[in-house]
Structure 1
């Protein structure tokens, strides 16, 4: 049995809707349904009453719900305790590649204050890094979050700190814009090549929403799709289309010759949040969390 099936089942038990549960688990509804069926086959019992509306648990499902939650909690505790015994001064940090390559170096220097604290990075898409936190393989999660596209994290189980915000806006190569070859919103006769994020990336949802709610209809086609914002910036710099990139992509060591498009009409703001399980008792984690809180307080006071 795949332990992710238990997390799938608990999500469905909470929201009572296959479509919504699949979205929260970042799966297609077909894939999500197959995993629930796989769990039922492994147990030899029906857990979901598919004739009820809204979706309801069977008697067996209600009995198994507490067991599944207990298994997940015990596995998380065991992994935390084992990791604590092996890596007492190491933080296990899950975050997207876009933050690891831009914001993390400055954050880490400020948070650790020169102390020797090890860090094991787990990089991935939003589903992978959230799963790492929930499964207990990460002490901290740092991710992007927007109210319209919430991250499925239980507020009663996890603490949250807002580290800052990012503006995500469309960019294109300066040479292409100045030559008039790329401009938003494009037209039916001359659609704009769009550089889009893969569906597993959190930014994909944000950019899709921006395009859907745009003040003017964007005429474009998906020229490229990728998980990495750096790869997208490289493609945009090469004149291959329009890419939505966070402000932090443009650090001192990043020399893409890109210009922003639209004068804010196709921008969107997203928060950067840190999460920690309230029951995580590792001293090194508690110290780092307190340091983050202190840095945020100093920034607010300044």
Structure 2
């Protein structure tokens, strides 16, 4: 029976050494012959953190061969190291019966702690090797491409200037962009201070509120628009259920697609997709060129609509509101990050 296996590491937090205990798992393996008492706690030597990195590599590649290449060891050596980790854990961590291989329930439980430990050790290592103030006075933000160039850029630059003046130091801004799951992973690994992303009932951001908190950084709405010049030639009518309307839409891996999907499925629009875009900027450009209609954030198209370049279709019932959230860990952040959060919550 696997129960109450704990790893305790002394981690440097920039001011003092801090003990943090991470519970690997508390899952009883059902068996008639299961013993009632817990197995002895096993301690993983610090030198063997390479085994945790091996497990992380295997979880990403789902292949012993690829993971071995990633870890720069031979396939047999990598397999032995995974078995060593399983021996330490007292459980099978990898399901080898299927291709590609997958972690077992116990393996997934250990993976959560492994990722946390490796990330924290990397952070401590960087602080020890670079004891200067660059990391201390930086805002590190993960977000999507569109938000990075608009709301996040405005907020980060404002906070950098304000905090910099108060502290009389230069506060750098580090913005990383990518898919929402990838950006959530950066926040969970503490590689960034903040995650800025869309929020909508149809979009579930996998951030556990037990460990993280958020504030509303802004609100917006998706508005159906088309090229005004094109509209004079072809009067698009969203109420027309029979005449196909060329539709500039988003790829299904984009957060924007998930926000709009419920609204579009529930509607009777006669939409005929003509383009699938991986960003707001691409959809915006195609719509302005007259390729079709599309739903764009009002913050993007407001000026074009006022100047007559774009035309809004339908009314409020055709719009889709959403909010933009800023997530952070409940653990203490850097000085600059904490000051930015405090100012934003005022």
Q: TM-score, normalised by structure 2?
A: 0.63
Could you tell me which residue of structure 2 aligns to residue 70 of structure 1?
113
Indicate the SS of the match to 2:181.
helix
Could you tell me which residue of structure 2 aligns to residue 246 of structure 1?
297
Q: 1:142·1:273 contact (CA, 8 Å) conserved in 2?
A: yes
Q: Is 2:213 aligned against 1:162?
A: no
Shift of 1:66: 3.9
Q: Is 2:246 aligned against 1:199?
A: no
Deviations 1:246-297 (A, max 9, x none): 1111366997811211112221111110011122432222122112212xxx
| Bigger relative CO (Cα 8 Å, ≥ 6 apart) | 1
Deviations 1:163-203 (A, max 9, x none): 12111111111122233343324443x31111111122100
Pick aligned residue for 2:193 from 132, 135, 139: 139
Shift of 1:118: 0.7
What is the CA RMSD across the aligned residues, in angstroms?
3.3
Deviations 1:151-172 (A, max 9, x none): 1111011111111211111111
Pick aligned residue for 2:325 from 263, 273, 285: 273
Pick aligned residue for 2:143 from 83, 91, 95: 95
Q: Is 2:335 aligned against 1:283?
A: yes
Residues 1:104 and 1:252: Cα distance change in structure 2 (over 3 Å): farther
Q: 2:246·2:272 contact (CA, 8 Å) conserved in 1?
A: yes
Q: 2:140·2:173 contact (CA, 8 Å) conserved in 1?
A: yes
Paired residue total? 252
Pick aligned residue for 1:122 from 166, 176, 184: 176
Range with bigger deviation, 78-87 or 110-119: 78-87
Residues 1:135 and 1:199: Cα distance change in structure 2 (over 3 Å): farther
Residues 1:131 and 1:186: Cα distance change in structure 2 (over 3 Å): farther
Cα distance in 1 for residues equivalent to 2:107 and 2:218 = 40
Cα distance in 2 for residues equivalent to 1:120 and 1:36 = 28
Indicate the SS of the match to 1:250.
helix
Pick aligned residue for 1:208 from 254, 257, 261: 261
Could you tell me which residue of structure 2 aligns to residue 111 of structure 1?
159
Shift of 1:108: 2.9
Unaligned 5+ runs, structure 2: 1-23, 28-58, 68-78, 84-91, 98-102, 165-169
Pick aligned residue for 2:316 from 248, 264, 270: 264
Larger Rg: 2
Residues 1:81 and 1:286: Cα distance change in structure 2 (over 3 Å): farther
Q: 2:193·2:333 contact (CA, 8 Å) conserved in 1?
A: no
Indicate the SS of the match to 1:184.
coil
Indicate the SS of the match to 1:111.
helix
